[in-house]
Amino acid sequence: MTTTVTGTEQVTAAEAADLVKVYGSGDTAVVALAGVTVSFPAGQLTAIMGPSGSGKSTLMHCLAGLDTVTSGEVYVGGQALSELNDRKLTELRRDRVGFVFQQYNLLPTLTAEENITLPLAIAGRKVDPAWFDAVIGAVNLADRLRHRPTELSGGQQQRVACARALITRPAVVFADEPTGNLDSHSSAEVLAFLRRSVTELGQTVVMVTHDPTAAAYADRVLFLEDGRIVDELAEPTAESVLDRMKLLEVAAHAADDSAGSGGSAAHDPASI
Ligand code: ADP
């Protein structure tokens, strides 16, 4: 799917159109996504932030075709997911989407190299040596390829997981709190790699994080609240992200307070 932005063709790697996700039904129904419309341009790193329970994981899972949607549509690389049967959806997840999880999820019996090339082996595809070298170079793991996960630090394991996510040249990589288990030094290495994969290798990354320092590596930060995108910030710095988070928190408390007092303060004559 392509959209024209100020005269230049901009390719969209993934997109959600009026996405609604409701878990359960009746009295116990939980609206996790309340109509999210967003597009992720190719060649950008986007961070998604928001309080716990705001719908970050649900949005990522729906975008990645890991969860069904209640209504609305998801596009990956221009393909509407609702048009795919189970087999085609599995293939799309395998070939067009990369995942990085907080827990690395590497296979312990395989070497780093075997873990990285596993998605290609499963798909019956050959390794492109030039792309393999580019990814390994960017992830700085050339001298660790024969090691097994237990012989690698947490940061190295997560870099292996990042390389595995990129080896198929997916339309988009989804990273769910990729630095959640790492110390600040290892976090910086993983984030630098995700940034390089976008800037130097032209990949597209969508990353959920609660850490303003991590979000500062992104081109754009989206803020979720109660299943809606409530704000966004371009070219973020850790300071500007932190400032925006504080403002959103104040606004959310004000909304809670006015809801608690029976209506909006702006409409209460006594408050003027
Ligand atoms: P976040 O990732 O921002 O913490 P989630 O996407 O995990 O938020 O959750 C959004 C809302 O949906 C929360 O209220 C959560 O309790 C609810 N939710 C998430 N997954 C399920 C599920 N499988 N069943 C029922 N409710 C769920």
With respect to residue 17, please indicate whether it lies within any of the assigned structural domains. no
Q: How far is it, in rounded angstroms, from Cα 197 to Cα 199?
A: 6
Q: What is the pLDDT of residue 10?
A: 65
The string of pLDDT tens digits covering residues 135-147 is 998 888 899 999 9
Question: In ligand 1, which atom is closest to the CA atom of 52?
Answer: 4
Residue pLDDT, tens place only, 54-106: 999 999 999 999 999 999 999 999 999 999 999 999 999 999 999 999 899 99
| Cα 172 to ligand 1 centre (Å) | 23
**Distance from residue 23's CA to the centre of ligand 1 (Å):** 8
pLDDT at 249 (0 to 100): 85
Model-wide pTM > 0.85: yes
Give, in order, the Cα–Cα distances in Å from 255 to each of 104, 166, 172, 232, 233.
38, 42, 35, 19, 21
Q: Cβ(29) to ligand 1 under 6 A?
A: no
pLDDT of 261:
60
Cα dist from 25 to 33, 98, 197, whole Å: 14, 31, 41
User: In testing the pocket of ligand 1, which one of 20, 22, 23 has its CB within 8 Å of the most ligand atoms?
Assistant: 23
**156 occurs within a structural domain:** yes
Q: Which atom of ligand 1 is nearest to the CA of 61?
A: 6
The confidence score (pLDDT) of residue 250 equals 85
Q: Is residue 172 part of a domain?
A: yes
In a 13 Å sphere around the CA of 82, the CA atoms on its Cβ side amount to: 10
**CA 79 / ligand 1 centre spacing (Å):** 26
Q: Which domain holds residue 50?
A: 42-59+84-257
Residue 270 included in any domain: no
119/174 Cα distance (integer angstroms): 15
Strand partners, 79: 76
Total of domains in the chain: 1
In a domain? residue 65: no
Q: Is residue 157 part of a domain?
A: yes
The CATH number assigned to the domain holding 251 equals 3.40.50.300
Does residue 24 lie in a domain region? Answer: no
pLDDT at position 243 is: 93
Q: Which residues of the chain have pLDDT under 50?
A: 1-7, 263-272
Query: Is the CB of 30 within 6 Å of ligand 1?
Result: yes
Distance 123 CA to ligand 1 centre (A): 31
